[in-house]
């Protein structure tokens, strides 16, 4: 069956460098964020919920998603489709982990009667998808992809597929994470994944690990024809995507970025585009020695060097949003299309002599004529995700 | 329809309190379960799933359950002879909740530096899918999809679509859960839905809630074309999948059941079948007041008075949360092979306030002529899911 085109008509974002599209876009320009973790500052959940009680009965990870989804709907206007044709696909790396952590302590220190009746519905990985569906009465398929740091990219791709395959007319797609808890930070620290100096400097020769971030990104996707019919402003298009596995190691990528190559090539094939059409790569670029090296090698293998696509990682200002990263980055790519500008890789200062030469945007933003772009995410467990995003028309 | 290609099941693997391994599991379906569901898979040897004690320590029980189910399913399916990039995995779970809880204690008692570097890879819900992909070198899509108690059924539907759309030739699909620890069990108790008598009595007048249990089920789903080409044994076909969302309440199903019915209607339309074609309904049947009442009415309304036999298996398998849907689908496929419908353990007397649905009672497994079957699950969060399975013709 012919697949339907997928328009992006609304965006919402909650990130350490800014809440809402304007603040987020400003934050992407720098300066670098500081701290042991890059947390979202000044977030108030209540305005995004019907009442304060509903907000209290959700985990922070759900609150971020609810906020981002509401922004996306407000930007696009709620489409008047059959609710059973409206879906939700909101992924996460580890769901309501702060709830789980605090309830384990509540049980240990205060006994079973002090455990919240909402513990399970707050911690479950589908809580954000379910709560967003309730907020907007989206009653079609709702699901959540949990593929660690690739969850956001996979969720947007899976959400888009609901429209491509004619199962939905509109989908709120994205992901969310709020894992800045003492035990999670310690676990990532002891894994030696985090930068000992708390510096997120993607592709820099002095990079030594990532800095944990958090937040959410949500895109309102609609069937292109229906979005045109209702007069919605089309901000961008989801052209395709891919999901592959390294099947190699739980935390390290395949040498030479072979898994990333396979994933990017599959995504281009899915979108029906040759590599030469891609002029911008929004990198996973976590600032770890292994990821950035493998990703740079993979980008060169897939796209060559002449001409080379522009490459940016926004993790110098967002940190690594884990499951939220992919959707926050997808939002940034669509914003780049609207602004005609690619944000710089904040934090980068010195090229790595061992890395193949990529055309990294750094120091200042670069003007760009919107064209098809890709956004990469690679997760612990060897999960690879690539999304192909095109500009809207008109 | 799911897509352009037909999808069949050619391998099964199961670890369950009802019985682990297909033979023992089937014995549990028609006779007594190997273990009380509340005790979990009491004799499960997690260590046997690994080459070394070190690997075992670096893993969570749910990953071990998944590895055991994967080993059986892949062995059962036989040689696939495929490019590993054409084989995907969809394994759903809430994650390694036991490992995380232990690490909270380590953190608080011994300090942050003593938290395991493997706490995240063991806890992350994609951990089991990732470990299975690594063990067998599977390089297609490798994802964990979460919709709580309906995850397993949606995982099978999502996986079948990967094949139907031509994105994969084979997908190892299912899910598992290992939630039996004090924190999670208390959390479920506090929702008010757990059984105080510790017995799941689906659709019974004396039911008082669900019983949290554990287990894993995995199915080798394959394109019909490829299965025929390699001469694989075919258990049955996935004909359709539907899912909808109540958008009503985070833990209580919409009593009206309209949206839940929508999931079944979508699945039937997907399969190109009418309600009258369905001769068995594998129920969610958690034994809670609200679910079973909603579900009994839904079955009566969709299928009418001459409706399908209803098998509610959670009396024997317990509620394995994300694992339930796959384990139940395996029971359905085995019922095709054995030409026998499993009994609904602990179901004796239909709640008289329900419409007269035909629940196969405890101890009364019955012969049947295999026919299209619906397997349904409904979840916290309002996620409704239904799968249509049928004998291969």
Q: Terminal CA-to-CA distance of chain B, rounded, Å?
A: 16
Do residues A223 and A319 share a domain? no
Per-residue pLDDT tens for B163-172?
999 999 999 9
Is the ipTM value over 0.90, yes or no?
yes
Do residues A247 and A335 share a domain? yes
From the candidates B149, B200, B243, B280, give the one annotated as an active-site residue: B149
* Residues of chain B positioned with their CB less than 8 A from the CB of A130: 245, 250, 380-383
8 A C-beta contact, residue A95 and residue A120: no
Considering chain B, what percentage of its residues have pLDDT values greater than 90?
Answer: 96
Coil, helix or strand at residue B219 = strand
User: Chain-wide mean pLDDT for chain A?
Assistant: 97
Do residues A56 and A175 share a domain? yes
Q: Does B107 have pLDDT greater than 80? A: yes
Do residues A116 and A32 share a domain? yes
Do residues A292 and A345 share a domain? yes
> Which residue, A236, A259, A283, sits at the end of a domain?
A236
Per-residue pLDDT tens for A29-56?
999 988 999 999 999 999 999 999 999 9
**Interface touch A146/B124, C-beta < 8 Å:** yes
Coil, helix or strand at residue A24 = helix
Residue A249 β-bridge partners: none
Per-residue pLDDT tens for B210-268?
999 999 999 999 999 999 999 999 999 999 999 999 999 999 889 889 999 999 999 99
**Interface touch B380/A121, C-beta < 8 Å:** yes
Interface test with B, best of A56, A111, A126, A170 (most B CBs within 10 A): A126
Do residues A247 and A366 share a domain? yes
Nearest to B124 among A94, A119, A142 (CB): A94
Please indicate, yes or no, if residue A279 is contained in any of the structural domains.
yes
* Residues of chain A positioned with their CB less than 8 A from the CB of B116: 187, 190
Q: DSSP letter at B289?
A: H
8 A C-beta contact, residue A235 and residue A346: no
Domain with CATH 3.40.47.10 in chain B: 7-229, 241-390
Do residues A74 and A125 share a domain? yes
Per-residue pLDDT tens for B174-218?
999 999 999 999 999 999 999 999 999 999 999 999 999 999 999
Q: Does B393 have pLDDT greater than 80? A: yes
B158 contacts: CB under 8 Å, gap ≥ 6 = A143, A158, B90, B143, B145, B173, B241
* Residues of chain A positioned with their CB less than 8 A from the CB of B121: 191, 250-251, 380-381
Identify the CATH assignment for B241-390 out of 3.90.1150.220, 3.40.50.360, 3.40.47.10, 3.50.50.60.
3.40.47.10
User: Does B57 contact A at CB distance below 8 Å?
Assistant: no
For the CA atoms of B349, B351, B352, B357, the dihedral, rounded to the nearest 10 degrees, stands at -80
* Residues of chain B positioned with their CB less than 8 A from the CB of A2: none
Do residues A228 and A260 share a domain? no
Nearest to A107 among B94, B131, B183 (CB): B183
Nearest to A147 among B119, B144, B250 (CB): B144
**Interface touch A117/B190, C-beta < 8 Å:** yes
What one-character-per-residue DSSP string does A332-346 give? Answer: HHHHHHHHTEEPP-T
Q: Which two tokens stand for residue B385?
A: 């899911």
Q: Does B1 have pLDDT greater than 80? A: no
User: In the annotation, is B149 catalytic?
Assistant: yes
Interface list for B 200-259 with A (CB within 8 A): 243-251, 259
Mean pLDDT of the A60-68 span: 98
Mean pLDDT of the B317-343 span: 98
Q: Does A394 have pLDDT greater than 60? A: no
Helix-then-strand count for chain A, H and E: 13, 14
pLDDT recorded at residue A1: 65
> Which residue, A215, A236, A257, sits at the end of a domain?
A236
Per-residue pLDDT tens for A247-288?
998 888 898 899 999 999 999 999 999 999 999 999 999 999
What one-character-per-residue DSSP string does B138-182 give? Answer: --S-EE-B--GGGHHHHHHHHHHHHHHTTS-SEEEEEEEE---SH
Task: Work out the angle at residue A334's Cα, subtended by the Cα atoms of residues A331 and A340, and round it to the nearest 5 degrees.
Answer: 135
What is the pTM (predicted TM-score) of this model?
Answer: 0.98
Question: How distant is the Cα of B4 from the closest Cα of chain A, in angstroms?
Answer: 7
Q: Which residue of B has its CA nearest to A381?
A: B130
Coil, helix or strand at residue A233 = coil
Do residues A308 and A330 share a domain? yes
Please indicate, yes or no, if residue A1 is contained in any of the structural domains.
no
What one-character-per-residue DSSP string does A248-262 give? Answer: S-SSSPPGGGHHHHH
* Residues of chain A positioned with their CB less than 8 A from the CB of B101: 100, 104
Mean pLDDT of the A179-200 span: 97
> Which residue, A171, A203, A236, sits at the end of a domain?
A236
From the candidates A149, A168, A184, A263, give the one annotated as an active-site residue: A149
C-alpha A272/C-alpha A238 separation (Å) is 12
Please indicate, yes or no, if residue A276 is contained in any of the structural domains.
yes
In this structure, the number of other CB atoms found within 10 A of the CB of residue A159 comes to 34
Total domains in chain A come to 2
Do residues A172 and A129 share a domain? yes
Q: Which residue of A has its CA nearest to B242?
A: A141
C-alpha B182/C-alpha A265 separation (Å) is 46
Q: Which residue of A has its CA nearest to B143?
A: A147
Phi and psi, residue B177, nearest 5°: -155, 145
Do residues A295 and A352 share a domain? yes
- Which domain covers residue A384, as residue numbers? 240-391
Cα atoms in the Cβ-side hemisphere of radius 13 Å centred on A214:
25
pLDDT recorded at residue A250: 85
Query: At the fourth CATH level, which superfamily is domain B7-229?
Result: Thiolase/Chalcone synthase (3.40.47.10)
Distance from CA of residue A47 to its chain's centroid?
Answer: 23
**Interface touch A124/B148, C-beta < 8 Å:** yes
Q: Does B9 have pLDDT greater than 60? A: yes
CATH of the domain at A345: 3.40.47.10
Do residues A256 and A384 share a domain? yes
Burial grade of A171 (CB within 10 A; 0-12, 13-18, 19 or more): buried
Q: Does B305 have pLDDT greater than 90? A: no
Question: How distant is the Cα of A88 from the closest Cα of chain B, in angstroms?
Answer: 9
């Amino acid at each position: 069956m012919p697949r339907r085109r997928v328009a992006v008509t609304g965006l919402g974002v909650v990130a350490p460098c800014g809440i809402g599209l304007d603040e987020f876009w400003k934050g992407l320009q720098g300066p670098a964020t500081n701290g042991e973790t890059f947390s979202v500052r000044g977030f108030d959940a209540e305005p995004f919920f019907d009442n304060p009680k509903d907000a209290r009965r959700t985990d922070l990870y759900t609150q971020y998603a609810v906020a981002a989804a509401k922004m996306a709907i407000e930007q696009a206007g709620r489409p008047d489709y059959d609710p059973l044709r409206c879906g939700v696909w909101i992924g996460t790396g580890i769901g309501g982990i702060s709830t789980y952590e605090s309830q384990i302590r509540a049980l240990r220190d205060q006994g079973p009667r002090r455990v919240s009746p909402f513990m399970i519905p707050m911690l479950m990985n589908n809580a954000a998808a379910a709560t967003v569906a309730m907020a907007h009465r989206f009653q079609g398929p709702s699901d959540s992809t949990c593929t660690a740091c690739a969850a956001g990219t996979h969720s947007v791709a899976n959400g888009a597929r609901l429209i491509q395959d004619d199962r939905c007319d509109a989908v709120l797609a994205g992901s969310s994470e709020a894992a800045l808890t003492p035990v999670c930070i310690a676990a990532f620290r002891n894994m030696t994944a985090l930068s000992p100096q708390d510096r997120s400097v993607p592709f820099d020769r002095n990079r030594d690990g990532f800095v944990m971030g958090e937040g959410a990104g949500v895109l309102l996707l609609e069937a292109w024809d229906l979005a045109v019919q209702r007069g919605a402003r089309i901000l961008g298009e989801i052209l395709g995507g891919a999901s592959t596995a390294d099947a190699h190691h739980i935390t390290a990528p395949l040498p030479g970025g072979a898994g990333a190559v396979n994933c990017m090539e599959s995504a281009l094939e899915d979108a029906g585009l040759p590599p030469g059409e891609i002029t911008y790569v929004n990198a996973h670029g976590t600032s770890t020695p292994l990821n950035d090296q493998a990703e740079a090698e993979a980008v060169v293998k897939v796209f060559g060097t002449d001409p080379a696509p522009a490459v940016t990682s926004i993790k110098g200002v967002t940190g690594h949003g884990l499951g939220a990263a992919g959707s926050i980055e997808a939002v940034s790519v669509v914003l780049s299309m609207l602004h005609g500008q690619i944000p710089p890789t904040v934090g980068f200062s010195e090229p790595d002599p061992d890395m193949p030469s990529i055309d990294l945007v750094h120091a200042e933003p670069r003007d760009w004529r919107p064209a098809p772009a890709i956004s990469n995410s690679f997760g612990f467990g060897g999960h690879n995700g690539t999304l192909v995003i095109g500009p809207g028309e008109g | 329809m799911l897509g352009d290609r037909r999808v069949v099941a050619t391998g099964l693997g199961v670890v369950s309190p009802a019985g682990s391994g297909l033979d023992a599991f089937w014995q549990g379906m028609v006779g007594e379960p190997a273990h009380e569901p509340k005790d979990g898979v009491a004799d499960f040897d997690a260590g046997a799933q690994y080459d070394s004690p070190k690997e075992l320590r670096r893993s969570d029980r749910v990953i071990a359950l998944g590895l055991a189910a994967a080993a059986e399913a892949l062995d059962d399916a036989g040689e696939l002879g495929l490019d590993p990039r054409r084989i995907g995995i969809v394994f759903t779970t809430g994650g390694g909740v036991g490992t995380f809880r232990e690490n909270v204690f380590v953190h608080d008692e011994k300090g942050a530096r003593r938290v395991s570097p493997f706490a995240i890879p063991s806890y992350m819900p994609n951990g089991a899918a990732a470990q299975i992909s690594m063990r067998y070198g599977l390089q297609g899509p490798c994802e964990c999809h979460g919709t709580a108690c309906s995850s397993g059924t949606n995982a099978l539907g999502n996986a079948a679509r990967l094949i139907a759309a031509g994105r994969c030739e084979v997908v190892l699909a299912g899910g598992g859960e290992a939630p039996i620890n004090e924190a999670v069990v208390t959390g479920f108790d506090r929702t008010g839905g757990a059984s105080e008598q510790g017995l799941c009595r689906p659709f019974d007048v004396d039911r008082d809630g669900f019983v949290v249990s554990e287990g894993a089920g995995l199915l080798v789903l394959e394109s019909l074309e490829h299965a025929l080409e390699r001469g694989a044994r075919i258990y049955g076909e996935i004909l359709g999948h539907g899912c909808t969302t109540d958008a009503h309440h985070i833990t209580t199903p919409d009593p009206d059941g309209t949206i839940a019915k929508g999931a079944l209607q979508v699945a039937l339309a997907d399969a190109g079948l009418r309600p009258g074609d369905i001769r068995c309904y594998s129920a969610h049947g958690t034994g809670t007041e609200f679910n079973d009442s909603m579900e009994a009415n839904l079955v009566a309304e969709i299928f009418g008075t001459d409706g399908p036999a209803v098998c509610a298996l959670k009396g024997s398998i317990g509620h394995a949360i994300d694992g339930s849907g796959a384990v139940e689908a395996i029971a359905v496929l085995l019922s095709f092979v054995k030409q026998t419908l499993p009994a609904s353990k602990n179901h004796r007397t239909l709640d008289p306030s329900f419409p007269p649905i035909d629940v196969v009672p405890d101890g009364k497994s019955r012969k049947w002529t295999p026919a299209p079957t619906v397997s349904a699950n409904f979840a916290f969060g309002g996620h409704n899911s239904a799968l249509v399975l049928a004998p291969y013709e």
